[in-house]
Amino acid sequence: MPNLATHLGDFQFANPLMNASGVYCYDQLQLDAMAASDAGTLTTKSATMASRLGNPEPRYAHLALGSINSMGLPNLGLPYYLDYALDFQNTHPTKPIFMSIAGLSHADNIAMAHMINDNEFNGLTELNLSCPNVPGKPQVAYDLEATATLLDDIFSFFSKPMGVKLPPYFDLAQFDEMAAILNRYPLIYVNSINSLGNGLWVNPDSDTVAIKPKGGFGGIGGDYAKPIALANVRAFAQRLKPEIQIIGTGGVKSGRDVYDLLLCGASLVQVGTALYEEGPEIFTRLNAELDQELTKKGLTELDSVIGQLKTLD
Ligand code: RRO
């Protein structure tokens, strides 16, 4: 049987699968369900310092080929997720947990990074620079100067393993510019991609939008996202220094989808829309299907897949 184990820096995982932040990670009940699943590990919901109710409902809709959401960062506050993670690392010492933070301002992000740094937390911290859904708050990672200033300030004191969650980019010049910035910092990974920001859907029965917040604009996930995710993972794999690994996220609902993101250069793979639709049992199926993909190719370990995409020249 192929060995599906993988790693990010010194962190080891039994398999490359986990939830995408925002799905199955709001509270202890959902996090415990993720922990009990066949996923290699899990992340908490992107946190702000204080808890938030998020945007008015309906704020998630199932679409023909995926989903649209404008949750608006509903979360129970960083202290809640830190407590959960501290407990989790004692009860699951071989499953490194991810903690996601998404401050509403530069100062919020700095304050949260201090709280995590000054704590016993020994997992991975993910700085979400790409929440598309808070009214009046543009995505940090589409502002290169703001991104560099934030990372400068965080890495002036932050001494624990950190990665960043990025939005999709669509021009090769943007990959060049963003990778050049990220390569300046001791990041251990980038997570690419967050949902395709500010899409819109029309319900043909009612001639209305599908979700209530922001006049119907929301982040798009699922099948719509897969080719964009593959391109973003591949483009960053070609540009980032080798110390910065990649988590691939976007459009995964089969073992082949996982395999494709690995080929493009991902070391771990997150599942969002399909996890929302199917629940944490999906990880049992995805592991089995990934196992079959490797077996079909006569491969015995993920290192034989990661970054091995071929071109036609
Ligand atoms: O909570 C959300 O609305 C949300 C976040 Br923070 C994010 O990063 N990505 C997304 O699709 N939704």
pLDDT at 271: 99
Q: Tell me whether residue 80 is in a domain.
A: yes
Q: Tell me whether residue 67 is in a domain.
A: no
Q: Could you give the angle at which helices 282-296 and 255-264 cross, rounded to 10 degrees?
A: 60
* pLDDT tens-digit map of 291-310: 999 999 999 999 999 999 99
Share of the chain above pLDDT 70, in %: 100
pLDDT at 245: 99
**Mean pLDDT for the stretch of residues 137-161:** 97
Question: To the nearest 10°, the Cα dihedral for 236, 124, 284, 303?
Answer: 50
Q: Is-catalytic flag, 264?
A: no
The confidence band for 143, taking pLDDT boundaries of 50, 70 and 90, is very high
By most ligand atoms within 8 Å of CB, the mutation choice from 73, 75, 271, 276 for ligand 1 is 73
Q: How far is CA 155 from the centre of its chain?
A: 21
pLDDT at 222: 98
> Residue 69 C-alpha to ligand 1 middle, in angstroms?
7
Which listed residue (42, 127, 131, 261) is catalytic? 131
pLDDT at 255: 98
Q: Tell me whether residue 272 is in a domain.
A: yes
pLDDT at 71: 98
Q: Tell me whether residue 153 is in a domain.
A: yes
Query: What is the C-alpha to C-alpha distance for residues 278 and 299, in angstroms, rounded to an integer?
Result: 28
**Ligand 1 atom nearest residue 197's Cα:** 11
> Residue 49 C-alpha to ligand 1 middle, in angstroms?
16
Residue type, 178: M
> Residue 199 C-alpha to ligand 1 middle, in angstroms?
13
Q: Tell me whether residue 156 is in a domain.
A: yes
Binding-site annotation: residue ranges for FMN: 21, 45-46, 128, 165, 193, 222, 250-251, 272-273
pLDDT at 109: 98
Which domain CATH number covers 131?
A: 3.20.20.70
Q: What mean pLDDT value characterizes the chain?
A: 98
Please answer whether residues 172 and 17 qualify as being in contact, where contact means their C-beta atoms are separated by less than 8 angstroms: no
* pLDDT tens-digit map of 13-67: 999 999 999 999 999 999 999 999 999 999 999 999 999 999 999 999 999 999 9
Would you state the structure tokens that stand for residue 231, as one six-digit string? Answer: 């391109």
**Ligand 1 atom nearest residue 72's Cα:** 3
pLDDT at 283: 99
Predicted TM-score of the model (pTM): 0.98
Q: What is the residue with the minimal CA distance to atom 8 of ligand 1?
A: 131
> Residue 46 C-alpha to ligand 1 middle, in angstroms?
8
Domain ranges, residue 97: 6-54+73-195+224-304
Q: Tell me whether residue 24 is in a domain.
A: yes
**Ligand 1 atom nearest residue 73's Cα:** 1
Residues comprising the chain, all counted? 313
pLDDT at 260: 99
Q: What is the residue with the minimal CA distance to atom 1 of ligand 1?
A: 73
pLDDT at 90: 98
Name all residues whose Cβ lies below 6 A of ligand 1. 22, 46, 69-73, 102, 128, 130-133, 194-195, 219
Please answer whether residues 111 and 119 qualify as being in contact, where contact means their C-beta atoms are separated by less than 8 angstroms: no
DSSP 176-208: HHHHHHHTTS--SEEEE---EEEE--EETTTTE
The confidence band for 161, taking pLDDT boundaries of 50, 70 and 90, is very high
Q: Tell me whether residue 261 is in a domain.
A: yes
Q: Tell me whether residue 179 is in a domain.
A: yes
* pLDDT tens-digit map of 168-201: 999 999 999 999 999 999 999 999 999 999 999 9
> Of 120, 118, 99, 122, which is closest to residue 157 (Cα–Cα)?
118
C-alpha distances out from residue 304 to 15, 57, 129, 237, 284, Å: 14, 44, 31, 16, 22
Total tally of structural domains belonging to the chain: 1
Binding-site annotation: residue ranges for substrate: 45, 69-73, 128, 194-195
By most ligand atoms within 8 Å of CB, the mutation choice from 55, 71, 104, 127 for ligand 1 is 71
pLDDT at 113: 98
Query: What is the C-alpha to C-alpha distance for residues 42 and 260, in angstroms, rounded to an integer?
Result: 21
pLDDT at 311: 98
